[in-house]
Chains A and B, each alone.
Chain A
Amino acid sequence: MRNARRDPDPAIGERGLKLIIDTIPALAWSARPDGSAEFFNQHYLDFVGFSAEQARDWGWTAALHPDDAGGLAESWRRIMASGAPGEGEVRLRRYDGEYRWFLYRANPLRDDQGAIVKWYGVNTDIEDRKRAEQELRRSEAFLAQGQRLTHTGSLWWDVSTGEVIWSEGNYRIMDLPTTITPTVDLVMQRVHPEDLPIVRAMLERSTREGATFDLEHRLLMPGGSVKHVRVVLHNVSQSAGQPEFVGAVQDVTAARTAEEALNRAGSELARVARMTTLNALTASIAHEINQPLSGIITNAGTCLRMLDAAVPDIQGARETARRTIRDGNRASEVIARLRALYTKRAFTLESLDLNEAIREVIALSQTDLQRNHIVLQSELAPDLPAVTGDRIQLQQVTLNLLRNASEAMADVQDRQRLMRIRTEREVGDRVRVTVRDAGSGLPLESVGSMFDAFYTTKSGGMGIGLFVCRSIVERHHGRLWAEPNDGPGATFSFSIPRRPADASDAASVLMTA
């Protein structure tokens, strides 16, 4: 190597070599052992816009950026002192006045005794790389700042290699030092034990099918505090079966806490409102019923007095007895009116796809189910025939059963909160909908009264739910019932005929609505 550098290749010749040096796409130069410049190739001179004479010795330093001059002198001295190849970065002024960043590299040439006789150097334009680096630093700063402000983190996960990369924001959410190498197991250790089943189930599905992972769940932090996070992972892999996820994690604790407080306040308010309505309702029922009752009791009392008199007033007694009956009828009319008031909505029969109606209800309940950490399995029979019924009312029944099942599992901690909704065809041209939960089960002593108007085991409700459900199902000529499961929980089912038995039957359904 050394020889090749010292002696020009005879095939190329001195002229040929100069041509190469002047043509290579780099600024080339040589310097004396004391550091003063001896030679610049044509590119160099063209770039700085100097003549060879102007640039010679220390003349070239006039093209240095004022801020870099000191630093360059220092690093050039260090390289020369070390006698070893060296490099550095510096800004040079172009002929038109614009400064550009260069990477300069210098190599010493030694004589046979090992003394340095010359330095050869090449400067490479790195302006574009510098700019890209700056851009990258800026966007990294933007990202870090943005993630800090929005409590988010980013992550990348190659499922086949198990490799995981986190952004700084992710470490902050997980409350782990950035020195730790992230793994999926590490994340699983942070997941709240109650949410582990659903996180595992969703993760398993995503890794198997490459499906998008989108879940809100809780983290149990080492200090015992709970964080709510929303995690979204998208599969960006090109090859099927080897998913590679890019995603984001957002700490939504503050929002969730506020929302929960609001919900608690809201449901308490709703309960109070219902109680208030109920109190008003009770007072007005009492008032309406007490009027005819008053008549009944006075008439009956007068009737007895008339019959007990020394000369019984048979005619008067007959009249008061007649009025007693009339006031009794008035009282029962009051009750009939009240009943009509609460079943006022028109009953609309249509042919409908029960599976589709139930899917809408499930979609509507999704957030609720997720918030309560419930895993819902739906087994909707693909061959379910269309039924004739009131779509909205049947959806209300389904919604109520889902909500009941969800509430029955609210206190379940030791097992998965699994809910199963199923539709199936029944013998006798009927369809059946079943909602099975793994909750607290049925209170044995009250299975009979469960469907009564004001029965409830919940502080949150007035227990109108199941009563209304049963009356809706009965209006469809169906029936609604509950059974305890073999394991934990209960199963609520309703079964309705595909269509009302005949036309007159349908008419009577409409009449009673």
Chain B
Amino acid sequence: MMKGRVMVSVIDDSEAVRESLPDLLRHSGFDADAFSSAEAFLESEAVSKTSCLILDVGLPGMSGPDLHQELLSRGQGIPTIFITAQGDPSLRPRLVARGAVACLFKPFSDTALLDALEAAVEKE
């Protein structure tokens, strides 16, 4: 697995996720940053540095899928792992069909996330 300079951005309005995920990511050898909204991420410098996005579906304001679409249309597509607390099973195939690497339902295991990250980094 490629490590060190790989930058992963977490975008989730849930504080529990913003606090816990970056620790797991850093412990697993990634660089990590966390944002509470799609807008905050777009305004940051992280857009150009991020190699993989862990993106919540149900964000307030611009939703996860909207952000994913927005980046694609800007030509700045980033491999994306969607995460969601809504548990709607029809969501996963729809998001994967639109180019997402994976869609994980909260709560997910650390191994499931790291497996998805590995797939994302390979994709990049």
Check: B27 CB closer than 8 A to any chain A CB.
yes
Of all chain B residues, the one with the shortest Cβ separation from A313 is B27
Q: Interface SS of chain A: helix, strand, loop or mixed?
A: helix
Chain A residues in 8 Å Cβ range of B27: 302, 305-306, 309, 313, 316
Check: B94 CB closer than 8 A to any chain A CB.
no
Check: B23 CB closer than 8 A to any chain A CB.
yes
Indicate if the CB atoms of B106 and A320 lie closer than 8 Å.
Answer: no
Q: What string of 1s and 0s marks CB contacts (under 8 Å) between B67-93 and chain A?
A: 000000000000000010111000000
Check: B24 CB closer than 8 A to any chain A CB.
yes
Q: What string of 1s and 0s marks CB contacts (under 8 Å) between A388-418 and chain B?
A: 0000000000000000000000000000000
Indicate if the CB atoms of B24 and A291 lie closer than 8 Å.
Answer: no
Q: What string of 1s and 0s marks CB contacts (under 8 Å) between A319-333 and chain B?
A: 110010001001000
Known: A290-B106, A291-B14, A330-B16. A298 touches B86 (CB 8 A): no
Q: What string of 1s and 0s marks CB contacts (under 8 Å) between A195-219 and chain B?
A: 0000000000000000000000000
B20, B28, B85: the one contacting A323 at CB < 8 Å is B20
Indicate if the CB atoms of A294 and B19 lie closer than 8 Å.
Answer: no
Check: A121 CB closer than 8 A to any chain B CB.
no
Q: What string of 1s and 0s marks CB contacts (under 8 Å) between A289-325 and chain B?
A: 0111111111101100110010001001001100100
A291-B108 Cα distance, complex, nearest whole Å: 11
Check: A130 CB closer than 8 A to any chain B CB.
no
A320-B107 Cα distance, complex, nearest whole Å: 16
Chain A residues in 8 Å Cβ range of B111: 301
Chain B residues in 8 Å Cβ range of A290: 85, 87, 105-107
Chain B residues in 8 Å Cβ range of A294: 14, 16-17, 20, 83, 85, 106-108
The bracket for how many chain A residues form the interface is 20 to 34
Check: B118 CB closer than 8 A to any chain A CB.
no
Check: A286 CB closer than 8 A to any chain B CB.
yes
Check: A141 CB closer than 8 A to any chain B CB.
no
Of all chain A residues, the one with the shortest Cβ separation from B13 is A291
B21, B86, B109, B113: the one contacting A286 at CB < 8 Å is B86
Q: What string of 1s and 0s marks CB contacts (under 8 Å) between B17-39 and chain A?
A: 10111011001100000000000
Indicate if the CB atoms of A316 and B86 lie closer than 8 Å.
Answer: no
Q: A322 to nearest B CB, angstroms?
A: 11
Chain A residues in 8 Å Cβ range of B66: none
A105-B86 Cα distance, complex, nearest whole Å: 102
**Which of the listed residues B19, B21, B86, B113 has the most CB atoms from chain A within 10 Å of its own CB?**
B19
Chain B residues in 8 Å Cβ range of A287: 58, 85-86
8 residue pairs, one from A and one from B, having the closest CB atoms: A295-B16, A301-B110, A294-B106, A290-B85, A298-B20, A294-B107, A293-B107, A302-B24
Which residues of A are interface residues toward B (Cβ below 8 A)?
283, 286-287, 290-299, 301-302, 305-306, 309, 313, 316, 319-320, 323, 327, 330
A-B contact pairs, 24 of them (CB 8 A): A283-B87, A287-B85, A287-B86, A291-B106, A294-B20, A294-B108, A295-B14, A295-B16, A295-B17, A296-B16, A297-B109, A298-B20, A298-B24, A298-B110, A299-B23, A301-B24, A301-B110, A302-B23, A302-B24, A302-B27, A302-B110, A305-B110, A319-B23, A327-B16
